[in-house]
Structure 1
Amino acid sequence: MKKILIRIVVLVLVFAAAVFGTSKILGKKMADTSEVMAQATFPLVYVDLNGKQINCMHGYAQEMDVIAMRDTLTPLSNDKTVNIQIQPFENQISSVSYEVLSADGSKSLENTLVTTLGNQDDYVTAELKVNNKILINTEYIMKIKVTAGVRDIYYYTRIINQANLNTENYLNFATGFYERCLNGNDEDGMISQTIEPNEDADNTTLAHMDIHSSGAQLMWGKLTPQAYLKPIPSIKELNENTATLEMDYVITATGDTEDMEMYHVTEYYRMRYAESQVMLLDFERDTNEIFDPENSILVTNGIRLGINSRDLTYKSDTDKKYFAFAQQGSLWLYETGTKKLTQVFSFLQNGKLDARDIYDENNIRIINIDSSGNMTFLLCGYMNRGKHEGECGVAVYTYDAATTSITERLYVETQEAFSLLDKDVENLGYMSADRTHFYLTLEGSFYDINITDNSVTEQFSNLSSGCYVGSSTGGKFAWLQENEKYDSSTLNLRDLETGNDTAFTCDSDERLQPIGFIDSDLVYGVAKGSDIDTEDKGSEVFPMYKVLIVNSAGETLKTYEPDGCYVIGGSVNDKLLTLDRVKKTKRGYTETSQDHIVNSSADDEAAYGFAYAESDKKQTETILKTGETIEEGTTPQILYAKQVKAEGEEVAEVSIPAQKQTEELYYVYAKGHLDSMYTTISEAVQRADDQLGVVVNNKQQLIWERGNKQTTCKLDISTFPDVILSGKMNIKKLSKNLGKQVLDLTGCTLDSVLYYVSEGTPVLAKTADGVVIIAGYDQYNTILLKPGEAETYYYGLEESADMFEAAGNQFITYFDPLEE
């Protein structure tokens, strides 16, 4: 018996030792530290304009490149003062200072410490007075530094010193319009008298509404919402004639399933003040439902995503078992069969939302997902909370489905604002399969970031717009070897996994141009050199007689040769290639119908993708179809991923400083945000004219704006430079003699070029009989001057427009750029 007891004790001790040893080994191998994303901590800063709270500013953890910080515009008071309110949350505000900079950030005009801070309700207040001289009707940047505890946090707004801006009238109109719509009450006729409903408006969806929607639709139909977060108006553009405002807010409403639902709403107003009243020139409203897995989100054919104005995207594995989608700052993963729904990541705070949650200057991009549900994704832009709070950059994450956890693999810090950064990352942001390298295009440079040793290699720099394309999902990058958009004959394709390059060439009388990628397959076009028209800068035509789809092995998968027309460009949306085409006529190239190519690998099955369902209160809802039949009333198993950090592993962090722009670019801002970028002023003006926007250059100098011109204008021809009076439309000669930047506005309309006349600059214009100088205009006529003559003459506006159009709308003018 004694021997048996001894054996039992020994066995127990051996087992305990084995368990302890195994746990130690597994502990070393698997020890992960779970991290909970910290709640948002940064204060918010508001402008107090005569008791009205406007221009909510979000804080940055570091000083940003001010050229990219073109968000709100704050008008100075008569004594050149900006009053601010700081919402501290849990912070102790110890000091506030401010700096006034030129629009491009190159000159500091004032740097002042606020000596007295006040308190009003739950806010810390400060008065920021501009003491030094600044120009009238000129935009500057105000950088506000708030010290919260031991942290310096930076806030940015543009400022302008100008009279007769009618700011409060615009603010009162926008807030009044919002309140009447929310309350469903238009007894005074404000809404009905200012909107322009027509038959083309879509009154079947609450996702997107505009000035042409019906009054009932703008008042939310049957939804009857309630305010959750009230809007704080943000002034985007402001001049003597017009104003552009944006308002963000959150509403709640009971949907058709009787669930309480929450929506993020963005409204855009463009207004004019005339004859003592505000006129609504344009209005748009976008509504996006905040996804709540606790609601009735499973329907018979998939997942109910609700009301959405954005172009949603999803990714699935090849077996269609896992479906990932991003919505309103959160990333979700759904597993068919098990009905598991996992919140992989979310910027939304736990508990009550505030303005920091709906600041959507960021984007979630799903790079790939495998057959086990593992995923790689990027966070791009402003980081609302967490350890990178207040920074602007790119965070690379992987998700492990087996452990329901995410791991940050790399963080790339930049000084580039989201509007520009997102366009770069959209072009290329790819992590290698072995997770050792991350490839990124940023400000015309191609970077290879080694995650294992935190090194950054700039593989290519100063790449010109239109000379390179990337594939974030396919791991490919293509660039023109000559870096000339209209004059390159070698197109290189790099496989980012293998590092192998494949070169595509053409005949000596041909030129190449990349169009984009369909997954990992490159799309490019070939044009005859004799067909390419680059005579008019900004109106260049690269007519491709042939478009090819090729793989990285150099094999041609498809050749497209249109009959009787040419391709001048294209865009890829998922697996659909849309080609823009033109026909050649005696008057040049004219637009014709588009054509479409669907990749052979496209999923044509109707069982997957997005569909739309009608409902009584919500009108039209988005459904993500998952290829299965779900029993009515099924609820998903909801999981929340944890963030882990493997023991002994440090997250790779690199910083890429702002690059000096070597390529002249023109930025179009419309509807409150960066719309597009162009290398020519004429393309930018045409786009801004179409989108009711403005154009600025690399230095954020205002170059053109829609609607801000005098009703009549007559210039003094005695002040015109001799080279203008000579009527020579030679850009090189004009640049040399004027000592100013010459603008080739070929392709723009007469109405758009009259903006420059209104600003005091004559415009050279081509006609069938020669060149004329536009020296003024009134409501009915242009005022023209023939070179060599001393007297101007009047010519009808419509007749002038026809005359200039017949000659190709060729216009040239000039302006004074900011000094270096």
Structure 2
Amino acid sequence: MKKIIIRILTLAAIFVLAVVGFYWYLNQGTTDTTETMAEATFPLVYMKNGDSLLNCLHGYTQEMDVTAMRDTLTPLENDRTLNLRIDPYKKKISDISYEVLNADGSRTLENTKVNKTEEQDGYLNVTLSLQDNLLINTEYALKLKITAGGQVLYYYTRIINEDGLHTESYLDFAMGFYERCLNKNDLESISAYIEPSDEGDNSTFAFSDIHCSMDQLSWGSLSPQAYYKPTPSLKEINDSTATIVMDYMISAKNDNNETELYAVSEYYRMLYTEERIRLLDFERTVNEVFNPENTGVITSSGINLGIAGRDVEYLSDLKNNCVAFVRQGALWEYQTSGNKMMEVFSFPQQSNSDARDTYMQNDIQIVNIDEAGNMYFLVSGYMNRGRHEGESGVAVYYFNATDSSITECLFVEAKQNYELLKRDVEDLNYISTDRNYFYVCVDGSVYGIDFATHQAEVLVSGLKEGCYGSSRTGRYFAWTESTYDASVLTILDLDTRQKQTISCGDSERLRYLGFLDEAAVYGIADTADINTAHAGLEFFPMKKVELVNGSGEVVKEYSVGNYYVTDTVIESKMMTMTRVERQADGSFVDALEDHIVSSSADESGQAGLTTKTTSRKETETYLTVGSALSTSSAPKVIRSRETIQEGTASVKLEASGEREELYYVYAKGKLYDVCTAINTAVKTADENLGVVVDGNLQNIWERGNKVTKLTLDTSTFPDVIRNGSMDVAAIEEGTGRKALDLSGCTLDSVLYYVSEGTPVLAKTPITDQTPQGIVIIAGYDEYNTILMNPGETETFYYGINDSTALFEEAGNVFMTYWDPISD
């Protein structure tokens, strides 16, 4: 019996050892297949102005295109020095150098290694002493090269060498305004700077401006506290004005004594006078940081997003099982059946976040979502942390809802900054139905990228601004070769790679207008009716507008008697058409708008946004999901992990040729618009207190930066100007400079060029004083323009108001040329 027991125990031990050994064998060499995103590690660099910090710079792992890095502007001290503070975040800084380049980055003016740094309270203080070959009132690019923890990083800002910019006064004003509003302290001292009126919306904290009440701007009953204080970003500055943007975070307690966080961005446009700073414009946007662990997030009405604008990114599946949404750098998914709230992706951390995690130079887009909650999504722009920290590009991820994991499918590298990249990705981003390809439009070219091989091919190149776009799902992409002289529209099905071409008659031209859902929209005009004499003021009366599907079949045609469509705006499922009516004599007069509404079935779920009014937060936004949600228990919060993969999914796109000549409007502290015509750009910048730059970052026009009076030396005018020629080719040949057609702009805006030393040609009615119907604007003062007739040498004064009326009567047709600064 004893032997039997021993044998049984022996066999049992062998069995246990065998099981353990087999388990060890099967799992030998394996580790956890997922991981959380690594924390941010890169240092931050701050510019210093006196005792103030400004322009927080974030590091890039590769050298960027200088012309795409127009973010902050840093004035030099009077002795051409620049003081920096580096926060190393425990990284060892072993090497610092800097490079000064001209605005477009084509030429290096200085490349110097920093040999001396000073450590203070854990920071590094650095002084850069720049050479004396920098022109006054000229912007340059500064590229800092810092080796941190053995890794080379690049930091960028623009610099300007000019005295009397009053930078410290602007910084003090903006910080003082912020602090007084937040603390409700000494509000009387700033109330004189705002302009309360009916234009201001005092019903929501999501957006406030200079026209709101002082109570609204000082946060009403919210009672917030500072959470992260702002570091001002100086965007523009000149002799008289400056633009500053401040991003910060506040906290407040809700009715359950729980902490709520709010991300705030403020824009200041200021004018310096000897008496005081004047606030020309002010805007504030607020977005509540979504926290599913706070009470009352899930309500019977939907998901409470708190204070939020109407531009929330969200998508639900057809059966409303799941809804995904983006809030302040984080992607969330709510599953109704299991009452689960999943954090799919987030740069900001639950705790230990800092200015690097919350850097909002990136964007999350939901591509698609299925009934199980699986989805593809994109992260575009600057990567705050993780395996791509410090890189710029487009990351394509797949979220597996079953195991709450994300997998990186592709990372498309880019040398563009966030604002330019965001515009491109919005033009086209599509994952093929078979999940084999990702399609994206970058810098005027359409690329197809294989998920398996990571190989990219160019499908379309040389696209012109305003001549292309994609359908709502992204499956169809359409384009023309030009805006107003196209004869063919091409539609590409990105699932099948099949192309459809649509042509018009020989005496007609067609214009791409956009997509209404999955239907491409274009209009047809007779060449005899088209007028393209002045870029930006083209007249293209379309006698017919057609909607065609991906197979090229017409699904709707719009043609109404003597009414012609001159422009369209497509929003969601409705297209608004601007129209004119042809008169008996062949002329056109303005007519009422008309509309086309899409009748296609909605392929998304029933998610939507609604609002509720509360006393403390004013207007709160709710995301509805098509049915009532259960509020019996708090949602289970799950945070995803990323699948560990061997190798890299990175893709480099080859340059696709020369860039189109474009004009970039920067206003309200950001890239506001991209225009093909200079007059359109100037008008947009004028209306929004902005600036216009060309593709080389050369300032072409700037609001509020002209002298009070100036008289030009007429003997220096080129002959082509003295003769009054308004022909673009003749002006460019006669001056050797770029001709600028400013037709449609105001007199005040074109006087900027006179202020810069360039005469302006203006069309006038033929009168005794202007017999040729053209005058040369040779100067101005507070009350007059100084004009000269072509072929003459004598100038004469003409009142500003009379000049304005004179030029308006002739259609505000102006022509000049631009003499780029050579540095």
- TM-score normalised by length of structure 2: 0.93
Deviations 1:576-605 (A, max 9, x none): 434444556789767655444332236599
SS at match of 1:448: strand
Alignment pair present for 1:728 and 2:731:
no
Between the aligned partners of 1:72 and 1:650, the Cα distance in structure 2 is 36
2:462 matched to which residue of 1?
462
The residue identity in structure 2 corresponding to 1:44 is L
Alignment pair present for 1:552 and 2:555:
no
Kindly state the Cα deviation for residue 12 of structure 1 after the two structures are TM-superposed: 13
**Worse overlay, 121-130 or 504-513:** 504-513
Alignment pair present for 1:86 and 2:86:
yes
The residue identity in structure 2 corresponding to 1:86 is I
Kindly state the Cα deviation for residue 160 of structure 1 after the two structures are TM-superposed: 0.4
2:248 matched to which residue of 1?
249
2:408 matched to which residue of 1?
408
Alignment pair present for 1:744 and 2:741:
yes
Deviations 1:39-96 (A, max 9, x none): 0111110011111111111111111000011011111001101100001112111121
Between the aligned partners of 1:90 and 1:527, the Cα distance in structure 2 is 64
1:765 matched to which residue of 2?
762
1:535 matched to which residue of 2?
533
1:623 matched to which residue of 2?
622
The residue identity in structure 2 corresponding to 1:671 is K
The residue identity in structure 2 corresponding to 1:411 is F
The residue identity in structure 1 corresponding to 2:759 is P
Alignment pair present for 1:681 and 2:678:
yes
Deviations 1:472-498 (A, max 9, x none): 723221122xx1221112211111111
What are the within-5 Å matches in structure 2 for residues 485-500 of structure 1?
485-500=483-498
Between the aligned partners of 2:781 and 2:470, the Cα distance in structure 1 is 49
CA shift in 2, pair 1:599/1:256, >3 Å: farther
CA shift in 2, pair 1:396/1:580, >3 Å: farther
Kindly state the Cα deviation for residue 699 of structure 1 after the two structures are TM-superposed: 0.5
Alignment pair present for 1:102 and 2:102:
yes
SS at match of 1:194: coil
**Worse overlay, 88-97 or 516-525:** 516-525
Alignment pair present for 1:512 and 2:510:
yes
The residue identity in structure 2 corresponding to 1:652 is A
Between the aligned partners of 1:485 and 1:262, the Cα distance in structure 2 is 46
CA shift in 2, pair 1:643/1:410, >3 Å: same
Between the aligned partners of 1:400 and 1:545, the Cα distance in structure 2 is 50
Unmatched 5+ stretches in structure 1: none
CA shift in 2, pair 1:550/1:804, >3 Å: same
Between the aligned partners of 2:657 and 2:307, the Cα distance in structure 1 is 42
Between the aligned partners of 2:521 and 2:409, the Cα distance in structure 1 is 31
Kindly state the Cα deviation for residue 520 of structure 1 after the two structures are TM-superposed: 3.0
CA shift in 2, pair 1:195/1:459, >3 Å: same
Alignment pair present for 1:199 and 2:198:
yes
Deviations 1:454-489 (A, max 9, x none): 222122222211222124723221122xx1221112
**Worse overlay, 37-46 or 587-596:** 587-596
SS at match of 1:440: strand
CA shift in 2, pair 1:659/1:164, >3 Å: farther
What are the within-5 Å matches in structure 2 for residues 54-203 of structure 1?
54-187=54-187, 189-203=188-202
Kindly state the Cα deviation for residue 6 of structure 1 after the two structures are TM-superposed: 11
Between the aligned partners of 2:72 and 2:578, the Cα distance in structure 1 is 35
- 8 Å Cα contact 1:315-1:366 kept in structure 2: yes
2:232 matched to which residue of 1?
233
Between the aligned partners of 2:44 and 2:81, the Cα distance in structure 1 is 19
The residue identity in structure 1 corresponding to 2:524 is V
Work out which of the residue numbers 688, 693, 713 in structure 1 matches 2:690. 693
1:275 matched to which residue of 2?
274
Deviations 1:661-713 (A, max 9, x none): 43211100001111111111111101111111000001100000011111122
- 8 Å Cα contact 1:399-1:406 kept in structure 2: yes
The residue identity in structure 2 corresponding to 1:371 is E
The residue identity in structure 1 corresponding to 2:795 is T
CA shift in 2, pair 1:583/1:710, >3 Å: farther
Unmatched 5+ stretches in structure 2: 767-772
Between the aligned partners of 2:658 and 2:799, the Cα distance in structure 1 is 42
- 8 Å Cα contact 2:692-2:701 kept in structure 1: yes
- 8 Å Cα contact 2:488-2:504 kept in structure 1: yes
Between the aligned partners of 1:591 and 1:164, the Cα distance in structure 2 is 49
Instruction: State the aligned residue count.
Output: 813
Between the aligned partners of 1:15 and 1:627, the Cα distance in structure 2 is 54
SS at match of 1:544: coil
Kindly state the Cα deviation for residue 815 of structure 1 after the two structures are TM-superposed: 1.3
SS at match of 2:555: strand
Between the aligned partners of 2:607 and 2:73, the Cα distance in structure 1 is 44
Kindly state the Cα deviation for residue 532 of structure 1 after the two structures are TM-superposed: 1.9
Kindly state the Cα deviation for residue 819 of structure 1 after the two structures are TM-superposed: 6.3
Work out which of the residue numbers 770, 779, 782 in structure 1 matches 2:782. 779
- 8 Å Cα contact 2:320-2:605 kept in structure 1: no
The residue identity in structure 1 corresponding to 2:337 is G
The residue identity in structure 1 corresponding to 2:742 is L
Q: What is the identity percentage for the equivalent residue pairs of Structure 1 and Structure 2? A: 50
Kindly state the Cα deviation for residue 560 of structure 1 after the two structures are TM-superposed: 2.7
Between the aligned partners of 2:553 and 2:677, the Cα distance in structure 1 is 35
CA shift in 2, pair 1:629/1:450, >3 Å: closer
The residue identity in structure 1 corresponding to 2:693 is V
- 8 Å Cα contact 1:65-1:658 kept in structure 2: no
CA shift in 2, pair 1:16/1:399, >3 Å: farther
1:293 matched to which residue of 2?
292
Deviations 1:539-594 (A, max 9, x none): 11232233222221223222233565433333443334344445567897676554
Between the aligned partners of 1:337 and 1:196, the Cα distance in structure 2 is 50
Measured on the aligned residues, the alpha-carbon RMSD in Å equals 2.9
2:804 matched to which residue of 1?
801
What are the within-5 Å matches in structure 2 for residues 584-623 of structure 1?
594-601=593-600, 608-623=607-622
2:769 matched to which residue of 1?
none
**Worse overlay, 658-667 or 610-619:** 658-667
- 8 Å Cα contact 1:699-1:818 kept in structure 2: no
Work out which of the residue numbers 571, 574, 579 in structure 1 matches 2:572. 574
- 8 Å Cα contact 2:313-2:365 kept in structure 1: no
Kindly state the Cα deviation for residue 319 of structure 1 after the two structures are TM-superposed: 1.5
Between the aligned partners of 1:415 and 1:510, the Cα distance in structure 2 is 40
- 8 Å Cα contact 2:318-2:603 kept in structure 1: no
Alignment pair present for 1:816 and 2:819:
yes
- TM-score normalised by length of structure 1: 0.94
